[in-house]
Amino acid sequence: MTETAQRTALVELADVSKHYGSVRALEGVSLEVHAGQITCVLGDNGAGKSTLIKTIAGLHRHDGGTLSIEGEETRLSSPREALDRGIATVYQDLAVVPLMPVWRNFFLGSEPRKGVGPFKRLDIGLMRRTTREALLRMGIDLRDVDQPIGTLSGGERQCVAIARAVHFGAKVLVLDEPTAALGVKQSGVVLKYVAAARDEGLGVVLITHNPHHAYLVGDRFVLLRRGTMVGNYTRDEITLDELTQQMAGGSDLDALRHELQRS
Protein backbone atom coordinates (compact mmCIF):
# COMPACT_ATOMS: atom_id res chain seq x y z
CA MET A 1 0.00 0.00 0.00
CA THR A 2 1.32 3.42 -0.93
CA GLU A 3 2.07 6.12 1.60
CA THR A 4 -0.81 8.19 0.18
CA ALA A 5 -3.30 5.35 0.61
CA GLN A 6 -2.18 4.84 4.20
CA ARG A 7 -3.01 8.41 5.16
CA THR A 8 -6.45 9.40 6.36
CA ALA A 9 -8.79 10.24 3.50
CA LEU A 10 -9.53 13.94 3.04
CA VAL A 11 -13.16 13.00 2.42
CA GLU A 12 -14.76 9.60 2.94
CA LEU A 13 -18.33 8.52 2.28
CA ALA A 14 -19.43 5.20 3.76
CA ASP A 15 -22.81 3.71 2.69
CA VAL A 16 -24.26 7.18 2.14
CA SER A 17 -27.93 7.42 1.16
CA LYS A 18 -30.16 10.31 0.17
CA HIS A 19 -33.92 10.21 -0.42
CA TYR A 20 -36.36 12.86 -1.59
CA GLY A 21 -39.65 11.56 -0.26
CA SER A 22 -40.14 8.17 -1.91
CA VAL A 23 -37.45 8.85 -4.53
CA ARG A 24 -34.13 7.13 -3.88
CA ALA A 25 -31.41 9.44 -5.23
CA LEU A 26 -28.46 7.65 -3.55
CA GLU A 27 -28.30 4.31 -1.78
CA GLY A 28 -25.25 2.84 -0.08
CA VAL A 29 -22.58 4.85 -1.91
CA SER A 30 -19.00 4.76 -0.62
CA LEU A 31 -15.89 6.55 -1.86
CA GLU A 32 -12.58 7.92 -0.63
CA VAL A 33 -10.75 11.07 -1.67
CA HIS A 34 -7.03 11.18 -0.88
CA ALA A 35 -4.50 14.00 -1.21
CA GLY A 36 -2.67 13.83 -4.52
CA GLN A 37 -5.21 11.48 -6.08
CA ILE A 38 -8.15 11.79 -8.48
CA THR A 39 -11.34 9.89 -7.70
CA CYS A 40 -13.58 9.64 -10.77
CA VAL A 41 -17.33 9.21 -10.37
CA LEU A 42 -18.95 7.88 -13.53
CA GLY A 43 -22.56 7.41 -14.50
CA ASP A 44 -25.19 8.34 -17.05
CA ASN A 45 -27.90 10.96 -16.54
CA GLY A 46 -30.00 10.05 -13.51
CA ALA A 47 -27.25 7.93 -11.98
CA GLY A 48 -27.02 10.10 -8.86
CA LYS A 49 -23.91 12.11 -9.70
CA SER A 50 -25.55 15.49 -9.05
CA THR A 51 -26.90 14.36 -5.68
CA LEU A 52 -23.46 13.06 -4.72
CA ILE A 53 -21.90 16.43 -5.62
CA LYS A 54 -24.48 18.31 -3.57
CA THR A 55 -23.87 16.05 -0.58
CA ILE A 56 -20.10 16.59 -0.63
CA ALA A 57 -20.56 20.33 -1.32
CA GLY A 58 -22.87 20.82 1.68
CA LEU A 59 -25.99 21.68 -0.34
CA HIS A 60 -27.90 18.60 0.82
CA ARG A 61 -27.54 16.56 4.00
CA HIS A 62 -27.32 12.80 3.61
CA ASP A 63 -30.02 10.63 5.21
CA GLY A 64 -27.97 7.53 5.96
CA GLY A 65 -24.37 6.40 6.22
CA THR A 66 -21.46 8.62 7.23
CA LEU A 67 -19.53 11.52 5.71
CA SER A 68 -16.09 12.10 7.22
CA ILE A 69 -13.64 14.93 6.58
CA GLU A 70 -10.05 14.10 7.52
CA GLY A 71 -11.30 11.30 9.76
CA GLU A 72 -13.95 13.38 11.56
CA GLU A 73 -17.56 12.32 10.98
CA THR A 74 -19.68 15.33 10.08
CA ARG A 75 -22.95 16.53 8.54
CA LEU A 76 -22.33 19.58 6.41
CA SER A 77 -25.03 22.23 6.79
CA SER A 78 -24.09 24.61 3.94
CA PRO A 79 -21.70 25.16 1.01
CA ARG A 80 -19.94 27.81 3.13
CA GLU A 81 -19.19 25.22 5.80
CA ALA A 82 -17.86 22.84 3.15
CA LEU A 83 -15.67 25.61 1.74
CA ASP A 84 -14.41 26.47 5.22
CA ARG A 85 -13.48 22.79 5.61
CA GLY A 86 -11.47 22.94 2.38
CA ILE A 87 -13.99 21.52 -0.12
CA ALA A 88 -14.33 23.64 -3.29
CA THR A 89 -16.88 22.70 -5.94
CA VAL A 90 -16.73 23.85 -9.56
CA TYR A 91 -20.09 23.31 -11.23
CA GLN A 92 -20.59 22.68 -14.93
CA ASP A 93 -22.32 26.03 -15.49
CA LEU A 94 -19.49 27.96 -13.74
CA ALA A 95 -20.63 30.83 -11.50
CA VAL A 96 -18.88 33.66 -13.35
CA VAL A 97 -19.88 37.16 -14.45
CA PRO A 98 -19.11 37.12 -18.21
CA LEU A 99 -18.57 40.88 -18.65
CA MET A 100 -16.23 41.23 -15.66
CA PRO A 101 -12.47 40.79 -16.19
CA VAL A 102 -10.71 37.56 -15.34
CA TRP A 103 -9.09 39.02 -12.21
CA ARG A 104 -12.42 40.23 -10.84
CA ASN A 105 -14.01 36.81 -11.32
CA PHE A 106 -10.98 35.18 -9.75
CA PHE A 107 -11.56 37.12 -6.52
CA LEU A 108 -15.36 37.33 -6.72
CA GLY A 109 -16.66 37.45 -3.14
CA SER A 110 -13.16 37.56 -1.63
CA GLU A 111 -11.83 40.91 -2.87
CA PRO A 112 -8.86 42.36 -0.91
CA ARG A 113 -9.10 46.05 -0.03
CA LYS A 114 -6.65 48.77 0.91
CA GLY A 115 -6.98 52.08 2.73
CA VAL A 116 -9.00 52.85 5.85
CA GLY A 117 -12.43 54.21 6.65
CA PRO A 118 -14.12 56.12 3.81
CA PHE A 119 -10.94 55.74 1.72
CA LYS A 120 -11.11 51.94 1.71
CA ARG A 121 -11.18 50.59 -1.84
CA LEU A 122 -10.50 47.48 -3.88
CA ASP A 123 -6.83 46.64 -4.25
CA ILE A 124 -7.03 46.20 -8.01
CA GLY A 125 -3.27 46.06 -8.55
CA LEU A 126 -2.90 43.21 -6.05
CA MET A 127 -5.77 41.30 -7.60
CA ARG A 128 -4.34 41.62 -11.10
CA ARG A 129 -0.85 40.50 -10.01
CA THR A 130 -2.14 37.65 -7.86
CA THR A 131 -4.45 36.36 -10.58
CA ARG A 132 -1.65 36.37 -13.14
CA GLU A 133 0.78 34.64 -10.75
CA ALA A 134 -1.77 32.03 -9.63
CA LEU A 135 -2.62 31.16 -13.23
CA LEU A 136 1.04 30.94 -14.22
CA ARG A 137 1.71 28.68 -11.25
CA MET A 138 -0.80 26.24 -12.75
CA GLY A 139 0.77 26.67 -16.18
CA ILE A 140 -2.05 28.87 -17.50
CA ASP A 141 -0.67 31.78 -19.54
CA LEU A 142 -3.57 34.08 -20.42
CA ARG A 143 -2.99 36.94 -22.82
CA ASP A 144 -4.57 39.49 -20.52
CA VAL A 145 -6.25 39.11 -17.10
CA ASP A 146 -8.15 42.34 -17.85
CA GLN A 147 -10.15 40.72 -20.63
CA PRO A 148 -13.78 39.78 -19.83
CA ILE A 149 -13.93 36.17 -18.70
CA GLY A 150 -16.79 35.63 -21.14
CA THR A 151 -14.30 36.00 -24.03
CA LEU A 152 -12.40 32.90 -22.87
CA SER A 153 -13.14 29.45 -24.23
CA GLY A 154 -15.06 27.00 -22.08
CA GLY A 155 -11.86 25.11 -21.33
CA GLU A 156 -10.03 28.28 -20.30
CA ARG A 157 -12.86 29.27 -17.94
CA GLN A 158 -12.72 25.82 -16.33
CA CYS A 159 -8.96 26.22 -15.87
CA VAL A 160 -9.38 29.63 -14.22
CA ALA A 161 -11.90 28.08 -11.79
CA ILE A 162 -9.47 25.27 -10.95
CA ALA A 163 -6.61 27.74 -10.36
CA ARG A 164 -8.90 29.85 -8.14
CA ALA A 165 -9.71 26.85 -5.93
CA VAL A 166 -6.02 25.99 -5.60
CA HIS A 167 -5.11 29.60 -4.74
CA PHE A 168 -7.74 29.93 -2.02
CA GLY A 169 -6.47 26.86 -0.21
CA ALA A 170 -8.87 24.10 -1.18
CA LYS A 171 -7.89 20.63 -0.01
CA VAL A 172 -10.58 18.87 -2.03
CA LEU A 173 -11.67 19.96 -5.52
CA VAL A 174 -15.00 18.64 -6.85
CA LEU A 175 -15.42 19.08 -10.61
CA ASP A 176 -18.87 18.63 -12.16
CA GLU A 177 -18.53 17.33 -15.73
CA PRO A 178 -15.75 19.83 -16.63
CA THR A 179 -15.32 18.41 -20.15
CA ALA A 180 -18.98 17.74 -20.98
CA ALA A 181 -19.48 20.62 -23.43
CA LEU A 182 -15.92 20.74 -24.79
CA GLY A 183 -14.21 19.40 -27.88
CA VAL A 184 -11.27 17.02 -27.83
CA LYS A 185 -8.54 19.68 -27.69
CA GLN A 186 -10.22 21.78 -24.99
CA SER A 187 -11.01 18.66 -22.96
CA GLY A 188 -7.33 17.77 -23.06
CA VAL A 189 -6.42 21.24 -21.76
CA VAL A 190 -8.84 20.92 -18.83
CA LEU A 191 -7.61 17.43 -17.94
CA LYS A 192 -4.06 18.77 -17.93
CA TYR A 193 -4.99 21.29 -15.23
CA VAL A 194 -7.01 18.70 -13.31
CA ALA A 195 -3.77 16.71 -13.14
CA ALA A 196 -1.92 19.89 -12.11
CA ALA A 197 -4.33 20.34 -9.18
CA ARG A 198 -3.62 16.74 -8.16
CA ASP A 199 0.11 17.41 -8.37
CA GLU A 200 -0.39 20.43 -6.07
CA GLY A 201 -1.54 17.90 -3.44
CA LEU A 202 -5.31 18.34 -3.71
CA GLY A 203 -7.73 15.46 -3.56
CA VAL A 204 -9.85 15.70 -6.72
CA VAL A 205 -13.34 14.32 -7.36
CA LEU A 206 -13.96 14.26 -11.12
CA ILE A 207 -17.59 13.74 -12.08
CA THR A 208 -17.90 12.54 -15.67
CA HIS A 209 -19.79 10.28 -18.05
CA ASN A 210 -16.71 9.80 -20.24
CA PRO A 211 -14.63 6.73 -19.26
CA HIS A 212 -11.81 7.72 -21.63
CA HIS A 213 -11.33 11.07 -19.89
CA ALA A 214 -11.61 9.40 -16.48
CA TYR A 215 -9.00 6.76 -17.27
CA LEU A 216 -6.50 9.35 -18.52
CA VAL A 217 -6.19 10.92 -15.06
CA GLY A 218 -8.04 8.76 -12.53
CA ASP A 219 -6.60 6.83 -9.58
CA ARG A 220 -9.96 5.51 -8.30
CA PHE A 221 -13.23 4.88 -10.12
CA VAL A 222 -16.72 4.79 -8.64
CA LEU A 223 -19.56 3.79 -10.97
CA LEU A 224 -23.15 4.80 -10.23
CA ARG A 225 -26.36 3.53 -11.79
CA ARG A 226 -29.83 4.64 -10.72
CA GLY A 227 -28.49 5.95 -7.41
CA THR A 228 -26.60 2.81 -6.42
CA MET A 229 -22.91 2.01 -6.62
CA VAL A 230 -22.20 -0.75 -9.14
CA GLY A 231 -18.41 -0.56 -9.01
CA ASN A 232 -15.55 0.82 -6.92
CA TYR A 233 -12.05 0.21 -8.26
CA THR A 234 -8.49 1.43 -8.01
CA ARG A 235 -6.64 1.96 -11.27
CA ASP A 236 -4.79 -1.36 -11.10
CA GLU A 237 -8.07 -3.26 -10.64
CA ILE A 238 -9.75 -2.30 -13.93
CA THR A 239 -8.77 -1.66 -17.54
CA LEU A 240 -10.15 1.06 -19.79
CA ASP A 241 -12.08 -1.55 -21.80
CA GLU A 242 -13.66 -2.96 -18.64
CA LEU A 243 -14.50 0.52 -17.38
CA THR A 244 -16.07 1.41 -20.74
CA GLN A 245 -18.04 -1.85 -20.78
CA GLN A 246 -19.43 -1.24 -17.29
CA MET A 247 -20.19 2.37 -18.10
CA ALA A 248 -22.07 1.27 -21.23
CA GLY A 249 -24.26 -1.06 -19.20
CA GLY A 250 -22.30 -4.31 -19.09
CA SER A 251 -24.68 -7.27 -19.15
CA ASP A 252 -27.61 -4.96 -19.99
CA LEU A 253 -25.81 -3.93 -23.19
CA ASP A 254 -25.09 -7.56 -24.10
CA ALA A 255 -28.77 -8.43 -23.62
CA LEU A 256 -29.82 -5.50 -25.81
CA ARG A 257 -27.33 -6.49 -28.52
CA HIS A 258 -28.74 -10.01 -28.54
CA GLU A 259 -32.30 -8.68 -28.68
CA LEU A 260 -31.55 -6.38 -31.62
CA GLN A 261 -29.69 -8.95 -33.71
CA ARG A 262 -31.39 -9.93 -36.93
CA SER A 263 -32.87 -13.37 -36.83
Residue-wise pLDDT for 125-181, tens only, equals 999 999 999 998 888 888 799 999 999 888 888 889 899 888 998 999 999 988 887
Q: Is residue 25 part of a domain?
A: yes
Please say whether the beta carbons of 53 and 138 come within 8 A: no
Q: In what order do the strands lie in the sheet with 203-208?
A: 72-74, 64-69, 11-20, 23-33, 228-234, 220-225, 38-42, 203-208, 172-176, 87-90
Amino acid code (one letter) for 150: G
Q: How confident is the model at residue 191 (pLDDT cuts 50, 70, 90)?
A: very high
Residue 138 maps to a domain:
no
Has residue 125 been placed in a domain?
no
Average pLDDT over residues 190-202: 92
What does the mean pLDDT of the chain come to? 87
> pLDDT class for 258, splitting at 50, 70, 90?
low
Residue 134 lies in a domain: no
Give me the sign of the Cα torsion angle 145, 146, 151, 157: positive
Please tell me the total count of domains within the chain: 1
Torsions phi, psi for 75 (to 5 deg): -130, 100
With respect to residue 152, please indicate whether it lies within any of the assigned structural domains.
no
pTM metric for this prediction: 0.85
- Residue 219: which pLDDT band, with cuts at 50, 70 and 90? very high
- The CATH number of the domain holding residue 198 is 3.40.50.300
Residue 28 within any structural domain of the chain: yes
- The parent domain of residue 65 ranges over 3-100+169-260
How do residues 89-107 score in pLDDT, each as one tens digit?
988 777 788 899 999 999 9
Predicted confidence band of residue 1 (pLDDT cuts 50, 70, 90)? very low
pLDDT at residue 92, rounded to an integer: 77
Give φ, ψ of 85 to 5 degrees: -90, 5
The tens digit of pLDDT for each residue in 29-66 reads 999 999 999 999 998 888 889 899 999 999 988 999 99
Q: Tell me, what's the pLDDT at 4?
A: 43
Contact yes or no for 235/40 (Cβ under 8 A): no
- As a whole number, mean pLDDT of residues 243-256 equals 71
Does a structural domain hold residue 255? yes
With respect to residue 153, please indicate whether it lies within any of the assigned structural domains.
no
Residue of higher predicted confidence among 36 and 260: 36
How far apart are alpha carbons 56 and 81 in whole angstroms? 11
